[in-house]
Amino acid sequence: MLADRASGILLHPTSLPGAFGAGDFGTDAYKFVDWLASTGQTYWQVLPLGEIGPGNSPYMSGSAFAGNILLIDLAELASHGWLIDEDLVPDPEFCAGRVDFARLHPFRMKRLRRAAECFFTRQPDKMRREYGEFCAAESEWLEDYALFMTISERENWREWNHWPKDLAHRDPQALYRFGKICTGETGFWKFCQWCFARQWSKLKHYANERGVRIIGDLPIFVAYQSADVWSHQELFELDEHGCPSVIAGVPPDYFSETGQLWGNPLYRWDAHKETGYAWWIARLRKALQQTDLVRVDHFRGFVAYWEIPADAPNAIIGKWEPGPGEKLFEAFEQAFPHLPIIAEDLGLITPDVLELRDKFKLPGMRVLQFAFGNGITNHFLPHHYVTNTIAYTGTHDNDTSIGWWDSVPDHERAFARQYLGIDGGVEAINWVMMRALSKSVANIVIFPMQDVLGLSSEHRMNFPGHPTGNWEWRFSWDMIKPEHTLALAEMTAEYGRSGESALK
C-alpha cells in the first residue's frame, strides 16, 4: 500500500540527452536525477530496462533478467582504459531529438566488443574479481542468457526452434561442447551484463541518496525469441516443434479496433504452479534489485488473459482463459512481504481483477486522458480516486496531453472544460491536467516528461498498434526552461508532494 503524498516523472533512459545516439547511464542521467530532486520529485518511472526486441520495443526483450546493454555509458568504460578517445567520437548522423536504432546499435556494439576485448586481455585483479563475483551471483540466468545470445549470433539470429535440434532442444552434451568452444563470445555477453549492472546500481544509489526512488516496469509476457522460453520450454505453451501454439494480445480496445496482437507465447500456468512459481519469484526479485517498486504490466492478465491462435491475422479472434489469480500473488507475498507492486489495471477490467488487486492492497492506476468520455461516473475522474492510487496525465502509450487536447472529440473537450474549470484562462492544458491530479487524493502522481515540457503529438513515445516509429523520442536540456522547473517545484510543494515517499 502506498503511503505519503508524492509525485514523479515518467521518462525512459533512452530519452535522455547524450552524445552517442540515445540516452544512457552517463552524466546526463545523473543530471536528470539532480533536476528531479531540485523540483521535489520522489519518483523516476522508467520503462522495462531489458534488451529491446522487434520494433525496438522494451516490452519484447530477449531476456526477462538481462539489461539493455545499449544503455551502458561508454565514457565510463573509457575511464577504465577499455576504450580510447577515438571510440568516444559520436557519429555525426546521430540526432539529438530521436533515437536512430539502426545507426545506434552497430555504433555501440562495436565499442562494447572493443571494451570487452580490452578487459579480458588487460583486466586488473580487482575488476577481475568483481566480474567473477557477478557471474557467480547471477549464474542462474546468466549462463543460459550468454549461451542463447552466442548461439543466436552464430545462427544469424534465426528463431531458436530453427537451430540445430540438439541446441534447440538443449541436449546437455551439445550445450557443453558449444560452451567450451565459445567462451570468448559467452564472456562478451556476460561482460556487458556486468557493466550494465554496475552502472545502473551506481545510478540508482545516487538517485536514492537524493530522495528519488525508481519505479520499474515488468511486462507480463516475454518474447518467444528469448533466453527464457528457450531455457524453460516446459513453462510455455509450445507445440512439439517448439513453436507457440497460442499467443498473447488483447481484444479490440481504446487503442485499436482489431485489438493488439502482441505475439508473445503464453504460459503453462499449471507448470508454474508445480514449481511454486519459482521462475516468477526469481524474475520479480531481479526487478526489485534494479528498482524500488515495480509496475506490473497488463495486471488483468493474471486473472484472465486473451488467448489467440498462433496463426491469427489479428487479435479479434481469441478467447479469455483463466490466469493464476491469487495463487501467484500469495507466492509473491511469501517471498516479498511488503509486495512493492503497482497493478497496471487498465483496459477491459472486470470485478475479479479489482478483487485481486484489492486483496493484496496493490495500488492501481488512473489516467486522466481516459476520464472525459462517459460522464460524471467515469472512475478516471479525480473525484473518484482513492489514496492507494497512482494517477497519470497519460502513460507511454498515450499521446501527450497537448496532443490529446488537440485531437479529443468535441464532447469530451466540452466536459473537460467544465470539469477542470477551464474558462479561457492562460494556463496550458498540460498544466491544468497536472494540477488536477496534484490536488487529488491519489498518493502518487506521475507526469510524462513531455507534459512538463508542454510538447505536442510528434513527441509521443509509443503508438500501440503501429509497428514502427516508436520508442524514439528524446529531450534536450534546452527544452527545460526555468519556468518549467519553477512551476513543477511550486506545484509539487503547494499540494504537499515534495520529499520522500514509501510503501508500507
| Local confidence band at 425 (pLDDT 50, 70, 90 cut-offs) | low
User: 288 lies in which domain range?
Assistant: 232-363
Q: Are 314 and 198 found together in one domain?
A: no
Which pLDDT score, from 0 to 100, does residue 502 have? 34
Cα 261 versus chain centre, distance: 19
Q: What's 147's domain CATH number?
A: 3.20.20.80
Reported residue count of the chain is 504
Q: Are 170 and 41 found together in one domain?
A: yes
Cell of 253: 480496445
Q: Residue 33, by phi and psi: left (phi above 0), alpha (psi -120 to 50) or beta?
A: alpha
Specify if 67 maps to a domain: yes
| Local confidence band at 465 (pLDDT 50, 70, 90 cut-offs) | confident
| Local confidence band at 1 (pLDDT 50, 70, 90 cut-offs) | low
Q: Are 136 and 21 found together in one domain?
A: yes
Mean pLDDT, to the nearest integer, of 160-166?
96
Among candidate residues 344, 363, 382, the one where a domain is terminated: 363
Which pLDDT score, from 0 to 100, does residue 253 have? 77
pLDDT digits (tens, 9 = 90+) for 398-422: 999 999 999 999 999 999 999 999 8
On whether the CB atoms of residues 492 and 7 are closer than 8 A, the answer is: yes
Q: Which residue has the cell 498515450?
A: 398
Three-state secondary structure call for residue 341: strand
Specify if 116 maps to a domain: yes
Cross-strand partners of 7:
445
Q: Are 181 and 302 found together in one domain?
A: no
| Local confidence band at 274 (pLDDT 50, 70, 90 cut-offs) | very high
Q: Are 205 and 279 found together in one domain?
A: no
Specify if 424 maps to a domain: no
119 pLDDT above the threshold of 80: yes
Question: What is the rounded average pLDDT for all residues in the chain?
Answer: 95
Which pLDDT score, from 0 to 100, does residue 503 have? 36
Scanning 278-374, the segments in alpha helix (DSSP H) are 278-290, 326-335, 351-359
Task: Quote the CA–CA distance of 128 and 224 in Å, as a whole number.
Answer: 34
Specify if 2 maps to a domain: no
Q: Are 205 and 319 found together in one domain?
A: no
Among candidate residues 311, 334, 363, the one where a domain is terminated: 363
501 pLDDT above the threshold of 80: no
Q: Are 214 and 247 found together in one domain?
A: no
Q: Are 282 and 166 found together in one domain?
A: no
385 pLDDT above the threshold of 60: yes
Q: So which residues are the catalytic ones?
A: 297, 344, 397
Specify if 454 maps to a domain: no
pLDDT digits (tens, 9 = 90+) for 297-338: 999 999 999 999 999 999 999 999 999 999 999 999 999 988
Q: Which residue has the cell 485481486?
A: 356
Which pLDDT score, from 0 to 100, does residue 504 have? 35
* Count of domains observed in the chain: 2
Q: Are 278 and 149 found together in one domain?
A: no
Q: Are 299 and 194 found together in one domain?
A: no
pLDDT digits (tens, 9 = 90+) for 187-213: 999 999 999 999 999 999 999 999 999
Which pLDDT score, from 0 to 100, does residue 424 have? 67
Specify if 35 maps to a domain: yes
Q: Are 150 and 35 found together in one domain?
A: yes
Specify if 377 maps to a domain: no
Among candidate residues 343, 363, 383, the one where a domain is terminated: 363
48 pLDDT above the threshold of 90: yes
Q: Are 182 and 208 found together in one domain?
A: yes
393 pLDDT above the threshold of 90: yes
Mean pLDDT, to the nearest integer, of 34-53?
97
Which pLDDT score, from 0 to 100, does residue 338 have? 87
Task: Quote the CA–CA distance of 168 and 161 in Å, as a whole number.
Answer: 6
pLDDT digits (tens, 9 = 90+) for 78-98: 999 999 999 999 999 999 999
Which pLDDT score, from 0 to 100, does residue 348 have? 79
Specify if 147 maps to a domain: yes
- Phi, psi at 335, each rounded to 5°: -80, -30
